[in-house]
Chain A
């Protein structure tokens, strides 16, 4: 069974602070994705990382895929209240199935 772990489970910070959330697995995936989910809505894709060691930037968000393609991190610089939400990592299997982690619930206070 392919499982993903995320840490921390909850994070509450002040506006302007930086943060990093982590996604770890004992399995290798073909790629890894990060989604953000807001209350009452389905998750929305933020980024896909494919190559080990890959780093992608999306405005204030920086995503990194581990060299062994088993772990990933999401770093947010100068967090804003609009960043509040549930951040989910998803491993994409070679059979094109998507396995989600439990999520990190982020709250950014103004």
Chain B
């Protein structure tokens, strides 16, 4: 399967713990995006990378959130000191760098539940 893969698919943690999600994009895609989605809502932008450079980060993203894409391939999203409000689906998407409107290819998401 050459699609976007995310791991883990589900994570249950206690408040205050740290969690890390991994995303493996489609191999030839330069851009990688992280979104957060709560039930019944659209995806909320968190951050995106072009190769290893983090080009944009949402102002809504607190200092507890950090993302990396060290070699321009896979990416990790870490949430420190989790809070119940962090419970959501975390979606990763990749896109080829193209001159026109690109397309986002999404993974199936990592669902986080903070108890």
Contacts and interface: CB of A to CB of B under 8 A. Distances in A.
Interface of A: 4, 6, 30-31, 33, 35, 40-45, 48, 50, 86, 88, 90, 92, 95-103, 105
Interface of B: 4, 31, 33, 35, 40-45, 48, 55-56, 91, 93, 95, 100-104, 106-109
Nearest to A103: B42
A45 B103 contact: yes
Contacts of B95: 96
B101 A42 contact: no
Contacts of B4: 42
Contacts of B45: 97-100
Contacts of B55: 95
A81 to B, nearest CB: 20
